[in-house]
Chain A
């Protein structure tokens, strides 16, 4: 155990986490140069494209250190986005140390800070690394000062590296060996193993990635998972290299995998504790949380005939991502679909994109919303994750919505712009601290609903891409929220209903009405487009009736062409969604998603 080092890498997107990982794996001959050519730890295409890691993995290296000893290094990868902060915290809990990687040209970013705080809270030894020092725009001294201010380290503790040219890799490995403490477990104690990640294999079922904290786990052991209470037989145990390597057992301090014929991914919950059925531990490891979706949206097949296909796709998707929740729902406008719960906006985007790309689904989504707590006058509390389920105005005593604490790191010249944006988004300013004279770290509290929409894009555009942002959930607070309905000829378009702050309802309603007027084709009759709160119409516009649509000439040679056109138009009509007697093109639903708040 003395020769084991468990560590992870904390970095902002694009600061070089994956290249550093490749460098370490290559240096320790865990992988060849050729294998390292692509950022190895990011195994999903989408992740690679976006340069972000979504599912964390682990890999073991053997390193012959300068002190003459061989060390087992377990690199535990962490997801790099705010939506996955719980998973990050569990990965951190499996480590004793963390590399803090900061881009020499970009400096410290919001995500660096929030993950760093988590690592410090978890008691990890932090090894600061400045990466990309060979960039012409590198500002090494400035970044050094930022890091020193941030973690209070000494200047000579900061490693200068260029992962791309493999500069500094050996120094990093030596620092891990020297500075990250060996794990402190007891092999004789009852088994406690932390599940920090899991994947689904179609042949083996759910495979748990575990860090053994105390005790020893052997194949054929009878084990149980605390959270689910379910019991299994440990079928196969081993360590993680590029592939799984079967070792038959894992001892306290080490990291590896466990296959136990677990059918579903949701039974290997991240953060859960594995122990023995007989003589097991009495209490689980701390920190386990049931992950709950934060953002909800309706997903509907573009063509309503594809409902079953979408269900299959969601089920298959969920095999590999148990944080997605979905339940059937019906919309008068969109037909049969699913209300899906996501960890956050990025998670939502990833799910939608992967459903389309990998599962060939064509979907229409509704406006994302958070989960509201509605307290009714009769004392009942209703949890609303779909605006359609909102009780009527008269029944409501108060509504509470989730709030987050947000951290925004920005060059100081954009502070004014950001304050403005924060006000627009109902933000409550907390404080500003300066990372260095030109970079500010601002704290706000926001309603979650305000930042799940277009907040990130706006943040980037008003700061020319320089500001970065991270958030964590802090609790529910009362707000003046109303349900805003959109009506076409008096019929509610349920898929366009939203829960919105009273003060924003009017502008939003107006924008949606204008957008719909633009996108709904003229019908044979006039269409009234209205936005209403309860029975009160707050915005209204009309789509004039279509006056003429007829081909002027249709003689012998035109008939085939005309029939084909008619068939094509009928196909197009099929893709429209119908509310009352009004047909709404899919684009209208998509366009509403693009409306700026």
Chain B
């Protein structure tokens, strides 16, 4: 039985944060219609895939999934559980933003079946949070994690952002330190990226905000890796760190090139050699699902070579290339073709080849995208 990861997009937000380019809306009047459509869409795909797949991860992303009621989430989960085969050890994650939940709500989420919390803290610094236009403050952020823990969530992850304008190394270390003092198992630490659609991008273009240079970014990143590893959080992807055994099942589905289905606006799906994506607009999505059961806005069929490229790219970003898996899926041509390149990268300390894996070193993670350009596909 093949493994399947399911992503559900909840587009609703209180407001749009300046660094965000995800599809989100700050208008709740369509919540009910959206739920109906999600259920229809789930059924549509269950008819196609439920026989061959067993779900090992369900992930609620957004938007702000924690903004809707636990009943809302529960209704979606019920629909998935009724339509698909679910693995016993399924990981069910809810992206949660501080300031959107209280003890009661947290308890209800747990009861609904959520077993992993991904808390969008971003920073523990007042000024930085203001800059990022987050609705919460440092205290609320900490409380959110502690309350979730108290409510019974044992698997909690936090998101942090570094290389914010003017952020000193000390300030960033303080943030990291605050995070690891909390009962968390997993940390996602992202270098600030300018997304095309984000407000911040315009602010930078308009000269209102100046970003720090890439060498400084590199320094912060190295600091991050060293600090988190010293606290027992091991890097298993460019921006993701976890205590052993707490790597996100959902993330690994993406990076180990597993199949996944995405439900809701703007979500992406990948099954075998086909990838497709839904309409971003809530209105388009709703109408499409009502008319034809799904809301596919575009799709692509991947050639074996494209798949190889993606496989290598994703594996290299994360746990490394599983040589046996690579050979099994794509043959050994790539390895033969790239042998001298791999050796060269190895001798320059960018990667290690051991225990059947080609894995980037710390120095390699920093230059992951540059390294990818060296390979022949």
A525 to B345 CA separation, bound complex (whole angstroms): 11
Are A551 and B366 closer than 8 Å at their CB atoms? no
- A524 part of interface (Cβ distance < 8 Å): yes
Shortest Cβ distance from residue A545 to the other chain B in the assembled complex, whole angstroms: 9
Q: Is the contact region of chain A dominated by helix, strand, or loop, or is it mixed? A: loop
**Which of chain B's residues 235-288 have a Cβ closer than 8 Å to chain A?**
238-239, 251, 254-255, 260, 262, 266-270, 275, 277
**Which of chain A's residues 546-597 have a Cβ closer than 8 Å to chain B?**
546-557, 559-560, 562-563, 566-567, 569-570, 573
A294 to B72 CA separation, bound complex (whole angstroms): 82
B367 — which chain A residues lie within 8 A by C-beta?
A: 524, 546-550
Partner of A552, one of B239, B255, B260, B350: B239
Most chain B C-beta atoms within 10 Å of own C-beta, residue among A544, A548, A551, A563: A548
Are A552 and B313 closer than 8 Å at their CB atoms? no
B193 — which chain A residues lie within 8 A by C-beta?
A: 551-553
Are B238 and A550 closer than 8 Å at their CB atoms? yes
A560 touching B218 in the complex, CB below 8 Å, given contacts A524-B370, A550-B368 = no
Nearest chain-B residue to A545 (Cβ)?
B367
A567 to B270 CA separation, bound complex (whole angstroms): 20
Are A556 and B309 closer than 8 Å at their CB atoms? no
A555 to B268 CA separation, bound complex (whole angstroms): 10
A554 — which chain B residues lie within 8 A by C-beta?
A: 238, 254-255, 313-314, 317
A551 touching B238 in the complex, CB below 8 Å, given contacts A556-B270, A559-B310 = yes
- B172 part of interface (Cβ distance < 8 Å): no
Shortest Cβ distance from residue B340 to the other chain A in the assembled complex, whole angstroms: 12
A559 — which chain B residues lie within 8 A by C-beta?
A: 254, 268, 270, 275, 310, 314
B239 — which chain A residues lie within 8 A by C-beta?
A: 552-553
Contact flags (1/0) for B197-224 with A, using CB distance below 8 Å? Answer: 0000000000000000011011101000
A207 to B361 CA separation, bound complex (whole angstroms): 70
Are A549 and B368 closer than 8 Å at their CB atoms? yes
Shortest Cβ distance from residue A551 to the other chain B in the assembled complex, whole angstroms: 6
A546 to B268 CA separation, bound complex (whole angstroms): 33
Partner of B373, one of A525, A552, A573: A573
A547 touching B366 in the complex, CB below 8 Å, given contacts A552-B191, A556-B260, A563-B310 = yes
Are B275 and A553 closer than 8 Å at their CB atoms? no
B334 — which chain A residues lie within 8 A by C-beta?
A: none
Shortest Cβ distance from residue A585 to the other chain B in the assembled complex, whole angstroms: 14
Shortest Cβ distance from residue A454 to the other chain B in the assembled complex, whole angstroms: 34
Most chain B C-beta atoms within 10 Å of own C-beta, residue among A552, A556, A562, A569: A556
A570 — which chain B residues lie within 8 A by C-beta?
A: 373
A563 touching B238 in the complex, CB below 8 Å, given contacts A549-B367, A552-B193, A554-B314 = no
Are A547 and B317 closer than 8 Å at their CB atoms? no
Are B275 and A560 closer than 8 Å at their CB atoms? yes
A573 to B371 CA separation, bound complex (whole angstroms): 13
Partner of A547, one of B218, B306, B348: B218
B270 — which chain A residues lie within 8 A by C-beta?
A: 556, 559
Are B348 and A555 closer than 8 Å at their CB atoms? no
A550 touching B348 in the complex, CB below 8 Å, given contacts A557-B268, A559-B254, A559-B314 = no
Shortest Cβ distance from residue A546 to the other chain B in the assembled complex, whole angstroms: 6
Contact flags (1/0) for B309-328 with A, using CB distance below 8 Å? Answer: 11001100100000000000
- B365 part of interface (Cβ distance < 8 Å): yes
Partner of B215, one of A524, A547, A556, A563: A547
- B45 part of interface (Cβ distance < 8 Å): no
Are B266 and A557 closer than 8 Å at their CB atoms? yes
Contact flags (1/0) for B33-50 with A, using CB distance below 8 Å? Answer: 000000000000000000
Are B254 and A552 closer than 8 Å at their CB atoms? no
A548 touching B218 in the complex, CB below 8 Å, given contacts A559-B310, A566-B313 = yes
Are A549 and B370 closer than 8 Å at their CB atoms? yes
Are A547 and B310 closer than 8 Å at their CB atoms? no
Shortest Cβ distance from residue A569 to the other chain B in the assembled complex, whole angstroms: 6
A548 to B310 CA separation, bound complex (whole angstroms): 21
A142 to B254 CA separation, bound complex (whole angstroms): 83
Are B300 and A560 closer than 8 Å at their CB atoms? yes
- B102 part of interface (Cβ distance < 8 Å): no
Partner of B267, one of A550, A551, A553, A557: A557
A546 to B366 CA separation, bound complex (whole angstroms): 9
- B182 part of interface (Cβ distance < 8 Å): no
Are A524 and B371 closer than 8 Å at their CB atoms? yes
Are B366 and A548 closer than 8 Å at their CB atoms? yes
Are A556 and B268 closer than 8 Å at their CB atoms? yes
Q: Which residues of B contact A (CB under 8 A)?
A: 7, 190-193, 214-215, 217-219, 221, 238-239, 251, 254-255, 260, 262, 266-270, 275, 277, 300, 306, 309-310, 313-314, 317, 348, 350, 365-373
Beyond the given A546-B367, A555-B254, A559-B310, please list 11 additional residue pairs across the A-B interface where CB-CB is below 8 A.
A546-B370, A549-B367, A549-B368, A550-B368, A551-B193, A552-B193, A556-B260, A559-B314, A563-B310, A569-B373, A570-B373
A-B contact pairs, 23 of them (CB 8 A): A524-B370, A547-B366, A547-B367, A548-B215, A549-B214, A549-B366, A549-B367, A550-B369, A551-B193, A551-B238, A552-B190, A552-B192, A552-B193, A554-B255, A554-B314, A556-B268, A556-B269, A556-B270, A559-B254, A559-B270, A560-B268, A566-B373, A569-B373
Q: Which residues of A contact B (CB under 8 A)?
A: 524-525, 544, 546-557, 559-560, 562-563, 566-567, 569-570, 573
The 8 closest A-B pairs by CB, nearest first: A547-B218, A548-B218, A550-B368, A557-B268, A549-B370, A552-B190, A556-B268, A552-B191
